[in-house]
A and B are shown apart, each in its own frame.
Chain A
């Protein structure tokens, strides 16, 4: 059977035709429902996290009746996952290249401390302090990328090392001192902007005169908007630019990518630097969320970001995955944590559930990969 035949068979079932040469072909007789599902998931891997999310929402609607299923609670979950989702976007970039970045959390903390301390303690105008923080994140990521490519070390080792290094710099620069919400508000309120509350219903009814009742109860903040912008930009970069294709190619098969003329070193350095920069944006959102600057906050964020990426269906082996998947992955973690908390379960069972989700996600990834072998 040729690819064309598979394509038309797929079209008969209402599925879009496979890309020529993209998916292997199969005999019609082999297709049981499970096999068909496997094939469907192989073609639309992002559908898995969506299905899990839906299952979670349904379960908790019953487990925490009246509390879970409310616009306000959903907007709360959105706020609670914002930081992890942004770090997850950074982590997705790195994992797509078959790497891993253990330092995303400390880059975020370091960048937030640079922003806050420079502005509040040293009195530098926020117009300078804020870009300095972004630059610090970019620099950290750049260092990661250069070590990975130039010293040819595994990303796991490199970022394990820089995790420690950036962490030490954070303690040194912050002197372990927390900067209070009120002090930030007085000197550099811009750093808290991401925490500003938006009520979409009021916004639309006041500015446009639209009575969108379904928006009632939603309470968002600019941090969520920043998250969506970051995700949209990186989605565009990955899907519509040459750099994005290079990222996928470098992760899928670096040798083939090199042979095809891609400068994989430059691509990798770009990926790590960009990831560092995104961590610095997460730092801004972190300051908005906690009001002040705490050198102790977000210590386990690196693991949380990997969790979001893996549950979102991005393969740890590189070359496969999406930003949308990561956003949904972060939402799944948020929904499970919030849902279990509202159901009155202890934190340890929340951790238990998230652990199960990680293993299930990777199992499904492995299972749908089998189709191409």
Chain B
């Protein structure tokens, strides 16, 4: 009996701080990706401002669903008011998110929408298709007449085509004026301007290898689309090695990290589409704290946190901001 009482009082003690304080969680794909590092910083700043306790967690690697499941379970156990999550596996995480919502937690998904999207209370994300479209339009406008017989290399993310991969890739094609066939699938197009699709895994070293192999297939390439800025930086090294750093190849990317924006400034990158992880996280924390989800346009289905084209060579009819503005807003 004594033991039981002791256990009960210990339990009460350990639960007390959680009850006294409001806890909100943030779960990202990994701890190391600068995009998520910035997201965490944004959440930390907002948590301090709101006076709430922030618990952060992440998967061990990109795609680690189990790690995220455990993180959600911990947040339910900690009695959190809610959490924001960037899902590693947009389908597999859905049942666990349902469990959390059943337990009364507010769930806001960031960056990568769930499948189905309405499995969360709300989604705050970059419109990745629009981000791709902006650089597609810019590339087309910059090439002018030459766009009609361009030779394009695509450095995509992964063979399993995660949402962000096909959204950006197909967005670029739509912006460039390529018939995309199935808008949610990479590789079913038959436009002769497409020379090859390679996989970069969003990594600088693998990006270089992918570009080297692409150059073997397409020595006459003049447009390179890259899924993100590390892949673009790797591709640039490959282009430089064969003397194609002379302006004959237009290199474009998406993300808006500080190193990427500086590469636009230096001219190695023609343009990039910037997204806003800090803002995403701060908005999500605010909404969970207030217990009120902002109105979301049902046609889009998610709250668009914005994407802006950054270039030092603007094209008529394609909205863009300057490198200086981009540097103020950049992350990573």
Where the two chains meet, the residues of A that have a C-beta atom closer than 8 Å to any C-beta of B are: 67, 73, 76, 79-80, 83, 171, 175-182, 195, 197, 219, 221, 286, 289-292, 294-299, 338, 341-342, 346-348
Q: With A176-B37, A219-B241, A291-B237 in contact, do A297 and B213 touch (Cβ < 8 Å)?
A: no
A302 to chain B, nearest CB (A): 13
Q: With A171-B32, A347-B199 in contact, do A292 and B259 touch (Cβ < 8 Å)?
A: yes
- Residues of A close to B165: CB separation below 8 A: none
Q: How far is the CA of A291 from the CA of B237 in the complex (A)?
A: 7
Q: With A291-B237, A347-B159, A347-B199 in contact, do A341 and B213 touch (Cβ < 8 Å)?
A: yes
Q: Judging by beta carbons under 8 Å apart, are B234 and A342 in contact? A: no
Of A175, A298, A347, A348, most B-chain CB atoms within 10 Å: A347
Q: Judging by beta carbons under 8 Å apart, are A180 and B259 in contact? A: yes
Q: Judging by beta carbons under 8 Å apart, are B332 and A342 in contact? A: no
Q: How far is the CA of A80 from the CA of B31 in the complex (A)?
A: 28
Q: Judging by beta carbons under 8 Å apart, are B268 and A177 in contact? A: no
Q: How far is the CA of A298 from the CA of B208 in the complex (A)?
A: 12
- Residues of B close to A176: CB separation below 8 A: 32-34, 37, 332
Q: How far is the CA of A289 from the CA of B236 in the complex (A)?
A: 11
Q: Nearest 5 CB-CB pairs, A to B? A: A290-B204, A294-B204, A341-B213, A297-B205, A180-B259
Q: Judging by beta carbons under 8 Å apart, are B204 and A342 in contact? A: no
- Residues of B close to A219: CB separation below 8 A: 241-242
Q: Judging by beta carbons under 8 Å apart, are B236 and A291 in contact? A: yes
A-B contact pairs, 26 of them (CB 8 A): A73-B216, A177-B259, A178-B257, A181-B237, A182-B263, A221-B241, A289-B237, A290-B208, A290-B237, A291-B233, A291-B236, A291-B237, A291-B240, A292-B233, A294-B203, A294-B204, A294-B230, A296-B32, A297-B203, A297-B204, A297-B230, A342-B213, A342-B216, A346-B159, A347-B159, A347-B199
B123 close to chain A: CB less than 8 A: no
- Residues of A close to B217: CB separation below 8 A: 67, 342
B209 close to chain A: CB less than 8 A: yes
Q: How far is the CA of A251 from the CA of B19 in the complex (A)?
A: 58
Of B61, B205, B263, most A-chain CB atoms within 10 Å: B205
Q: How far is the CA of A178 from the CA of B241 in the complex (A)?
A: 21
A337 to chain B, nearest CB (A): 8
Q: How far is the CA of A296 from the CA of B159 in the complex (A)?
A: 20
Q: How far is the CA of A182 from the CA of B261 in the complex (A)?
A: 12
A260 to chain B, nearest CB (A): 43
Residues of chain B from 198 to 233 with CB closer than 8 A to chain A in the complex: 198-199, 203-205, 208-209, 212-213, 216-217, 230, 233
Contact of B268 (CB < 8 Å), options: A179, A182, A295: A182
- Residues of B close to A73: CB separation below 8 A: 216
- Residues of A close to B234: CB separation below 8 A: 290
A42 to chain B, nearest CB (A): 36
Where the two chains meet, the residues of B that have a C-beta atom closer than 8 Å to any C-beta of A are: 31-34, 37, 61, 159, 198-199, 203-205, 208-209, 212-213, 216-217, 230, 233-234, 236-237, 240-242, 257, 259, 262-263, 266, 268, 332
Instruction: Output the nearest chain B residue to A294 by Cβ-Cβ distance.
Output: B204
Q: Judging by beta carbons under 8 Å apart, are A295 and B32 in contact? A: yes
- Residues of A close to B266: CB separation below 8 A: 182
Q: How far is the CA of A286 from the CA of B209 in the complex (A)?
A: 12
A98 to chain B, nearest CB (A): 29
Q: Judging by beta carbons under 8 Å apart, are A289 and B208 in contact? A: yes
- Residues of B close to A292: CB separation below 8 A: 204, 233, 259
Contact of B233 (CB < 8 Å), options: A175, A290, A348: A290
Q: How far is the CA of A292 from the CA of B269 in the complex (A)?
A: 15
B302 to chain A, nearest CB (A): 26
Instruction: Output the nearest chain A residue to B199 by Cβ-Cβ distance.
Output: A347
- Residues of A close to B216: CB separation below 8 A: 67, 73, 76, 342
Q: How far is the CA of A365 from the CA of B33 in the complex (A)?
A: 40
Q: Judging by beta carbons under 8 Å apart, are B233 and A181 in contact? A: yes
Q: Judging by beta carbons under 8 Å apart, are B205 and A298 in contact? A: yes
Instruction: Output the nearest chain B residue to A76 by Cβ-Cβ distance.
Output: B212
Q: How far is the CA of A171 from the CA of B37 in the complex (A)?
A: 10
- Residues of B close to A177: CB separation below 8 A: 34, 259, 332
A107 to chain B, nearest CB (A): 16
- Residues of A close to B236: CB separation below 8 A: 181, 291
B310 to chain A, nearest CB (A): 15
A81 to chain B, nearest CB (A): 10
B323 to chain A, nearest CB (A): 14
Q: How far is the CA of A175 from the CA of B37 in the complex (A)?
A: 9
B121 to chain A, nearest CB (A): 29
- Residues of A close to B198: CB separation below 8 A: 341
- Residues of B close to A180: CB separation below 8 A: 233, 259, 262-263
- Residues of A close to B34: CB separation below 8 A: 176-178
Q: How far is the CA of A348 from the CA of B201 in the complex (A)?
A: 12
Q: How far is the CA of A290 from the CA of B33 in the complex (A)?
A: 18
A85 to chain B, nearest CB (A): 14
- Residues of B close to A171: CB separation below 8 A: 31-32
Q: How far is the CA of A79 from the CA of B213 in the complex (A)?
A: 12
A300 to chain B, nearest CB (A): 9
Q: How far is the CA of A182 from the CA of B237 in the complex (A)?
A: 11
Instruction: Output the nearest chain B residue to A167 by Cβ-Cβ distance.
Output: B32
Q: How far is the CA of A195 from the CA of B33 in the complex (A)?
A: 25
Q: Judging by beta carbons under 8 Å apart, are B209 and A80 in contact? A: yes
Q: How far is the CA of A219 from the CA of B215 in the complex (A)?
A: 14
- Residues of B close to A182: CB separation below 8 A: 262-263, 266, 268
Q: Judging by beta carbons under 8 Å apart, are B205 and A290 in contact? A: yes
B306 to chain A, nearest CB (A): 23
- Residues of B close to A197: CB separation below 8 A: 241
Instruction: Output the nearest chain A residue to B198 by Cβ-Cβ distance.
Output: A341
- Residues of B close to A181: CB separation below 8 A: 233, 236-237, 268
